[in-house]
Amino acid sequence: MTDKRTLLLLPGDGIGPEVMGEVEKILDWFNTHRGLGFTWEEGLIGGACYDAHGVALTDATVDRAKQVDATLLGAVGGPKWDGVAYEHRPEAGLLRIRKELDLFANLRPAICFDALTEASSLKPDLVAGLDILIVRELTGGVYFGEPRGIEDLGGGERRGVNTQVYTTSEIRRLARVGYELARKRGGKVTSAEKSNVMESGLLWRQEAEKLHKEEYADLAYENMLADACAMQLVRAPKQFDVIITDNLFGDILSDEASMLTGSLGMLPSASLGEVNPATGKPFALYEPVHGSAPDIAGQGIANPLATVMSFAMALRYSFDLGEEADRLEAAVKHVLAEGLRTGDIMQPGMRQVGTLQMGEAIRGALQASL
């Protein structure tokens, strides 16, 4: 274990390198002005890694990710790699790093900033003050279940198979993360599954309920079918505090929740595993919820805020620097309140800026916070 704070940055594809560039400048700011002593190295993932090495993630990068305190990722994917073999597609790199580090708990907050209430596709009163957290299982379920594959049945007929599978311990460790976080937040947990159709959903529900009764009876708890949860998220999103759910439903519900906040470009995420013996900290990967946005890549107009706030989550969950995380999140709120907007969250009367100006404004607000 060391006193140094180490990071691995994986900018990835599309707008990934642009938004990660702003995080690097913010890291510099924290080193210079807060003496935090961050050191970082860069690695390749996704299409960028495929172009260099013929795979979406190398063993060497996986090893580095296991040695550092936290890994920050930009985004992966793009049409350039559409023709690549399925097992080497850019997304495979992301799935592999999640699995290799056993990052079973994916925290996806959906927070509606006051300044962006009008940017939501829902009526402002439905989303004003929204602060919910989706805790998505990330290393199991149908994403990784066996058997899987495409089988040739002959005569032009094929069969595609994936397996939805969960065990008691997988469900319990994920639910525990949700309950622990709910205790520090609004004190309510909703477990979303399809127990009316799937045995794995029934098990999910039973195990989540049991753990609640055994250890978390102080919290409000409810089960909700995942489809009903999707509906309630747009009907009355503020009824939720923490939603615990599986890998696939979490993927879908978190995209839905993100739109409530006005833009996918605003949402950070943290993926956490067990404590890493090499660092004494949980295995951790931080990434924006948005993708690589190849349509706007390289134009300097991408919104860096989700990646910046992913770094804020790293400050909080990997480095136990909650006050510095608050400082960075306050800086983001400040620039939004001042009317600065990237194109994706632009509204009448606001000032449209590019990636670099947004980063610069955040560092200005950080400076003003001293």
- The one catalytic residue in 179, 194, 246, 344 is 194
Q: Tell me the three state secondary structure of residue 41.
A: strand
Does residue 179 have an active-site annotation? no
Contact partner, 94, from Mg ion, ligand IPM, none, Cβ < 5-8 Å per class: ligand IPM
E-assigned strand segments in the chain: 5-12, 38-42, 70-75, 105-111, 131-137, 149-154, 157-161, 188-193, 220-225, 242-245, 268-275, 282-288, 340-341, 351-352
Q: Which does 215 bind (CB under 5 to 8 A by kind): Mg ion, ligand IPM, none?
A: none
Smallest gap from Cβ 140 to ligand IPM, in A, equals 12
Write out the two tokens for 127.
Answer: 């989303």
Residue number, 91 or 222, with CB nearest to ligand IPM: 91
255 is catalytic: yes
Report the distance separating Cα 189 and Cα 223, nearest Å.
Answer: 9
194 is catalytic: yes
Interface with ligand IPM includes 94 (CB under 6 A)? yes
Give the integer Cα–Cα distance in Å for 329 and 28: 17
20-59: which residues touch ligand IPM (CB under 6 A)? none
Calpha distance 252→128 (Å, rounded): 22
CA atoms of 235 and 231, how far apart (whole Å): 6
Question: Closer to ligand IPM at the Cβ: 251 or 329?
Answer: 251
Could you tell which of Mg ion, ligand IPM, none binds residue 227, using a CB distance below 5 to 8 A set by kind?
none
Strands 105-111, 131-137: pairing is antiparallel
Q: Give the phi and the psi of residue 138 in degrees, each rounded to 5.
A: -125, -10
Please identify which residue in 42, 91, 324, 326 interacts with ligand IPM, judged by CB under 6 A: 91
Among 24, 100, 251, 329, the residue binding ligand IPM under the rule CB under 6 A is 251
256 binds ligand IPM (CB under 6 A): no
> In this complex, which beta carbon is closest to Mg ion, that of residue 137 or of residue 251?
251
Binding-site ranges for ligand IPM (CB under 6 A): 91, 94-95, 251
Active site residues: 143, 194, 227, 251, 255
